[in-house]
Structure 1
Amino acid sequence: MNGQELRDALRTEMASTTPPPPLSTPAALGRARRARFRRRAVWASLGSAAVVLAVTGFAAVVRPNDPVYQPAGGGFPAAGSSTDTKEPWPTGPDGQPQEDRTARAGSQYDRGVRLLSEVVAVVPPGYTAPEDPADQPAEQRMLRTQQAQFEEKVNGVDRWSYLTTVAVAQGNGTGRVIVEVHDAGNQLPTEPCALARTFWGMQGECQVETVGAAQVGVVVRPGSDDRLDQWSAYRHPDGVVVYVAQGAQLDETRPSLQKLPFSVRQLAALAVDDRFHLR
């Protein structure tokens, strides 16, 4: 076979091959939206690259399924994958199962919204809590975010967690305050510092602070994972767990705060504060 015959044979083969179906943009976007990240707090950690992912809708869900987790490095598989829960998602207010772990309406969603309001309310004097533009889509918001997420079913009862991130600004610097709450019945540790070190899988130098009769674990200095600067953890007597964290940097596109909003004592007191005790 000479060169011309080889080219003719290749053309014939290509002409007889069935072309792939055209890309369905709505279907692709739908899958991407279902897989997007509920933990917008982590977007801020990733800086401008995360903003690009958020805008295109291709950020992945990275919430945990065990007591030690790392929102920036792995977690739940995308909804619909073979390793995801075999049980249907919790039923929404419309009577239909949710499309994924995130509640977008109903009582759990309302708790997440309330938690966001409470976090904004505790921003100390001298700092402001800037807002995203009113017309900005929810998946692109970086300055104030909230999410209510189904974690697991324990003895027939749905267990949820709630996460809020609020940007805090002073002068030219912008940092953030994060509050995360887990329903009673969770499998998180009881000892204060063991509990604190489970937050986002991060480790660090921990001390126990006494707030009234409560013992609160506070990581005052992070280890090699420095996404956040300090965080506190408290398990209420009824089993509800509250984490309160602060970071001097919101993302890589903005200058950092010169001073963290809360002292260690204040951070511990916030973990005990009843306004974050969702139940």
Structure 2
Amino acid sequence: MKEEELREGLRSEMANTTPPPPSSTGATLGAARRAQFRRRAVWASLGSAAVVLAVTGFAAIATPGGHVYQPAGSGPLATPDSSADTKEAWPTGPDGRPQEDRTARAGSKHDQGLRLLSEVVAVVPAGYTKPEDPANQPAEQRTLRTHQAQFEDKVNGVDLWSYLSSVAVAQGKGTGRVLVEVHDAGNQLPTDPCALARGFWGMQGDCRVETVGAAQVGVVARPGNDDRLDQWSAYRHPDGVVVFVAQGAKLDESRPALTRLPFSVPQLAALAVDERFHLK
């Protein structure tokens, strides 16, 4: 076949091809709304650090390991960044099938995250209220209470999980938050108290070691340039379970900040050692 004949044949084939139908505006808007809901993240307005992906008043939190915390909730969420994925299937859920992504939305792991949320609510000191999310609140409104169980890694054939819960706390006109994150034993986080504390969410700051009984707890009372949280403590239990306890004076940009943080530095250190957060 001559070159000119080949070109003419291609032109004819393209001319006879039925063009795709125009996209439906309603379907497009619906898909956009669903994607927006799925991208809602656990913590709102966590500063301008590069690890925070702000979307519609919420933020997806990227951890030092490259994983992204998404909110626990109904319906599927966006799949994690492929750079953090493995070729292995996600852990098996209570229905006997692999999870859709890192987040457990039912079963024992999900229940652990819910239990952690209850414990965080319980430790909020007197003088602070603990507002709850209203029923049927719009998707674009910020979440006041969140909890999540997230698959982190498989080490020596064992699934390792982390659990993250946050509670809004209010006093007067100000609203801040208290947050606890727990990592299963077997995690690869640092063992030194201050190295552990400075590695929390990749944040840095001035760290000191607080002694709580026989325990050594790393506490960052003055963060660096990262303003997502104001203070946090870090403790590795003898069995390897790691607990972070954090507090922030500001919940989001739409509400005034607290004038006083809920916990003192010694109290924050003691909470990291508290057995209520020692999930096993």
- Match in the other structure for 1:52: 56
SS at match of 2:131: coil
Amino acid at match of 2:174: G
Aligned in 2, Cα 1:79/1:33: closer, same or farther, shift over 3 Å?
A: farther
Deviation of residue 82 (structure 1)?
A: 7.0
Matches within 5 A, 1:127-142: 127-136=128-137, 142=143
Take 2:261 and 2:33, find their aligned partners in 1: how far apart are those partners? 39
Aligned in 2, Cα 1:80/1:242: closer, same or farther, shift over 3 Å?
A: closer
Contact 1:69–1:201 (8 Å) recurs in 2:
no
Contact 2:47–2:228 (8 Å) recurs in 1:
no
SS at match of 2:233: strand
SS at match of 2:87: coil
Take 2:83 and 2:176, find their aligned partners in 1: how far apart are those partners? 38
Aligned in 2, Cα 1:151/1:21: closer, same or farther, shift over 3 Å?
A: farther
Take 1:30 and 1:86, find their aligned partners in 2: how far apart are those partners? 30
Take 1:188 and 1:257, find their aligned partners in 2: how far apart are those partners? 31
TM-score relative to the length of structure 1:
0.80
- Match in the other structure for 2:109: 108
Take 2:79 and 2:247, find their aligned partners in 1: how far apart are those partners? 28
- Match in the other structure for 1:176: 177
Contact 2:46–2:227 (8 Å) recurs in 1:
no
Unaligned runs of 5+ in 2: 1-13, 71-77
Confirm or deny that 1:187 pairs with 2:188.
Answer: yes
* Residue-pair matches, total: 254
Contact 2:64–2:201 (8 Å) recurs in 1:
no
Deviation of residue 18 (structure 1)?
A: 2.0
TM-score relative to the length of structure 2:
0.80
Confirm or deny that 1:268 pairs with 2:269.
Answer: yes
Q: Per-residue displacement from partner, 1:29-66 (whole Å, max 9, x unpaired)?
A: 698379635x512x24269x956265xxxx6x544362
SS at match of 1:162: strand
- Match in the other structure for 1:40: 42
Q: Per-residue displacement from partner, 1:196-247 (whole Å, max 9, x unpaired)?
A: 0011100001000000000000001000111111000000000000000000
The alignment-based identity, stated in percent, is 70
Q: Per-residue displacement from partner, 1:8-37 (whole Å, max 9, x unpaired)?
A: xxxxx9997724663655994698379635
SS at match of 1:91: coil
Aligned in 2, Cα 1:247/1:101: closer, same or farther, shift over 3 Å?
A: same
Aligned in 2, Cα 1:36/1:51: closer, same or farther, shift over 3 Å?
A: closer
SS at match of 2:216: strand
Aligned in 2, Cα 1:154/1:126: closer, same or farther, shift over 3 Å?
A: same
Contact 1:34–1:100 (8 Å) recurs in 2:
no
Confirm or deny that 1:64 pairs with 2:63.
Answer: yes
Take 1:64 and 1:131, find their aligned partners in 2: how far apart are those partners? 26
Contact 1:205–1:223 (8 Å) recurs in 2:
yes
Matches within 5 A, 1:1-279: 18-19=19-20, 22=23, 25=28, 28=31, 32=35, 36=39, 39-41=41-43, 43-45=44-46, 50=54, 52=56, 62-64=61-63, 66=65, 78-79=79-80, 81=82, 84-136=85-137, 142-279=143-280
Take 2:95 and 2:210, find their aligned partners in 1: how far apart are those partners? 44
Take 2:251 and 2:137, find their aligned partners in 1: how far apart are those partners? 18
Take 1:26 and 1:93, find their aligned partners in 2: how far apart are those partners? 33
Aligned in 2, Cα 1:70/1:193: closer, same or farther, shift over 3 Å?
A: farther
